[in-house]
Amino acid sequence: MTRLLVREGALVDGPRAIMRMNHENTGFDCPGCAWPDDTKGLHLDICESGIKHVTWEMTRKRVELEEELDVPLVRRGRTHEGLTPEGERIVVRAQRLLADRDALKDEAGALRTGLSGRARIGSVPTATGAVALLTGPFCVAHPLVTVEIVADLQSQDILRQLQNFEIDAGITYLHKGLSESFQAVPLYEERYVLLTDAADSLAHRTAASWAQASALPLCLLTEAMQGRRVLDELFAEAWARPSPRGETDSVATLFARVRTGRWASIVPHAWLHVFGVPHGMRAVPMVEPSGTVPVGLVTAAREPGSVMAGALTEVARHAGVAAALERLPGDPAPQ
Contact 35, 29 (CB under 8 A): yes
CA nearest neighbour of 157 among 73, 86, 224: 224
Q: Is the peptide bond before 285 cis (omega within 30 degrees of 0)?
A: no
Tell me how far apart the alpha carbons of residues 325 and 313 are, in angstroms, rounded to a whole number.
19
Compute the radius of gyration of the chain from its Cα atoms.
Answer: 25
Instruction: Note the pLDDT tens digit of each residue in 188-210.
Output: 999 999 999 988 888 888 899 99
Contact 267, 255 (CB under 8 A): yes
Phi, psi (degrees; rounded to nearest 5) at 76: -110, 135
Looking at the DSSP assignment, which residues form a beta bridge with residue 184?
Answer: 298
Instruction: Note the pLDDT tens digit of each residue in 267-299.
Output: 999 898 888 888 889 999 999 888 889 999 999
Give the three-state DSSP class for 91.
Answer: helix
Tell me how far apart the alpha carbons of residues 154 and 122 are, in angstroms, rounded to a whole number.
9
Strand 219-221 relative to strand 293-300: parallel, antiparallel, unpaired?
unpaired
Contact 122, 158 (CB under 8 A): yes
Please name the helix (run of DSSP H) or strand (run of DSSP E) that holds residue 331, with its range, or none.
none
What stretches of the chain show up as alpha helix (H) in DSSP?
A: 2-7, 13-20, 48-57, 59-69, 85-113, 128-141, 155-163, 210-214, 226-237, 251-259, 272-275, 307-318, 321-325
Tell me how far apart the alpha carbons of residues 158 and 168 are, in angstroms, rounded to a whole number.
10
Instruction: Note the pLDDT tens digit of each residue in 237-271.
Output: 999 999 899 999 888 899 999 998 889 999 999 89
From the first residue on, what is the mean pLDDT of each consecutive set of 10 residues in the chain (335 residues)?
A: 54 57 59 53 58 55 64 63 72 66 62 74 90 92 90 88 89 85 92 90 89 92 89 92 90 90 91 86 89 91 80 92 77 51
Give the three-state DSSP class for 58.
Answer: coil
For the entire predicted model, the pTM comes to 0.65
